[in-house]
Amino acid sequence: MNNSRVFSVRTWTAIVAAAAILTLMGAAPGALADIPCEHCARGANWINSCTLAGYDEFSNSGAEVGIYLPPDCSGEPANFVLSGPATIRRDSSGGSNTIATEIVSMNLTGGGLTLLVGTAEGLTRASRGTITEQAEDNKWGDSFFDVYLEAVVLDIGTVWNHDAFEVTAVIDCVPPDAVYIHPQGQCVPLYDDPDDDEGDILAYLGDANHITFPGCGDGWCDSDEEDTCTCPSDCGPHCGDGTCNCGEIVSSCPQDCGGPGCYCGDGSCNCGENCSSCPSDCGHCPNGAIPTVSEWGLIVLTLLGMTIGTVMFARRRGNRGATTT
């Protein structure tokens, strides 16, 4: 057989195989991060049309979690803000109105808490869920997960939940741009042993939400990308935080940029203020008001003009007298 023909066949075989692998990468865990609605787009009966199984990647999802100490969730929680990647496996709908899902991997950290979910993170229990088309509006789907987690909590240790920790969201595509919320009132014990009926309760998980694609305006301050300057709607107003930043000046934010007792309205007549420049601190001026800087300038110019005029007039009279003599 011709060697060039053999090489050509082998080359094309390798190219086709590589193309197939690259195609499958979109449906394999560890692929590049997705964008909202990339796999199954919005529209009527979108769940029914979502027949391609695959994986949805979230490279930097966010979460807020409240951990309570025993005896229950009635006290004040220790609140944590977390971020990290997550991977969701999604089955084909098969033309039905339901899609089976599973959290394959989730690794979130922040503030002294690490949260692990999924068999790829070493947990023995799978965190499964479904997406089900809403009967009253087929453009929306009810999504939920029964989550089993491992949490490493600062000053507490490693804990696991024996009962499923449910999170829910209403979504309109996949990957969804959504906030999954744990229903209020469900207080889930966290044990020091992962096996059922084993271990002691060390803490409780009572509050939690998971944000798939954090962004400004979602109500969650992503500490990696947002702050009071870039997203005050999520992170709070920056004026009043004690730092003169974000383009602030004395006039726009005196409490941050003026310093104690150095702005009009602080209740003290100081820093060069007077009754004309700051009546709120110094009181209203009496009849003999203290002139402002601009008023002093006008007075000086007037006096200077009068002095020059008087000198010139005197010289003119002197010259006129000398001529007459």
8-17, 151-160, 188-197, 217-226: which range is least confident on average? 8-17
Task: Encode pLDDT of 89-100 as tens digits.
Answer: 999 999 999 999
User: Using CB atoms within 10 A of its CB, is residue 90 exposed (0-12), middle (13-18) or buried (19+)?
Assistant: buried
- Residue 204's beta-bridge partner residues? 68, 189
Most confident of 3-12, 268-277, 316-325: 268-277
Q: How confident is the model at residue 19 (pLDDT cuts 50, 70, 90)?
A: very low
Mean pLDDT (whole number) for 145-151: 98
Q: Which of 23-27, 77-81, 234-238 has the highest mean pLDDT?
A: 77-81
Of 206, 201, 208, 226, nearest to 216 by C-alpha is: 226
Of the two residues 46 and 299, the one the predictor is more confident about is 46
Least confident among 8-12, 156-160, 185-189:
8-12
In this predicted structure, the answer to whether residue 204 has a pLDDT above a threshold of 70 is yes
Q: So what's the pLDDT on residue 294?
A: 57
pLDDT confidence of 298, banded at 50, 70, 90?
low
- Give the start-end residues of each E strand in the chain: 54-68, 78-90, 98-110, 113-117, 127-133, 141-147, 149-153, 157-160, 165-171, 179-181, 188-191, 201-211
Q: How far apart are CA 14 and CA 7, in angstroms?
A: 10
- Confirm if 151 and 113 have CB atoms less than 8 A apart: yes
Higher pLDDT, 260 or 232: 232
Peptide bond into 36 cis (omega under 30): no
Lowest mean pLDDT among 43-47, 74-78, 175-179, 294-298: 294-298
pLDDT at 259: 57
Q: What is the pLDDT of residues 304-323, one digit of tens each?
A: 777 777 767 677 666 655 55
Q: What are the boundaries of each domain within the chain?
A: 29-211
268 pLDDT tier (thresholds 50, 70, 90): confident
More confident site: 277 or 81: 81
Q: Which pLDDT belongs to residue 260?
A: 54
Higher pLDDT, 249 or 81: 81
Confidence class of residue 23 from pLDDT cuts 50, 70 and 90? very low
When mean pLDDT is compared over 27-31, 120-124, 240-244, 266-270, the highest value belongs to 120-124
Q: Is residue 261 predicted with pLDDT exceeding 60?
A: no
pLDDT band at 20 (very low <50, low <70, confident <90, very high): very low
Q: Please, which residues have CB within 8 angstroms of residue 46's CB and are 6 or more apart in sequence? A: 40, 138, 139, 141, 172, 173
60, 93 in Cβ contact below 8 A?
A: no
| Three-state DSSP class for residue 147 | strand
Measuring CA to CA, which residue among 222, 223, 174 is closest to residue 35? 174
Computed over every residue of the chain, the mean pLDDT equals 82
Instruction: Dump pLDDT digits (tens) for 108-121.
Output: 999 999 999 999 99
pTM of the model: 0.65
pLDDT score recorded for residue 30: 46
Mean pLDDT of 271-289: 77
Average pLDDT for 229-243: 78
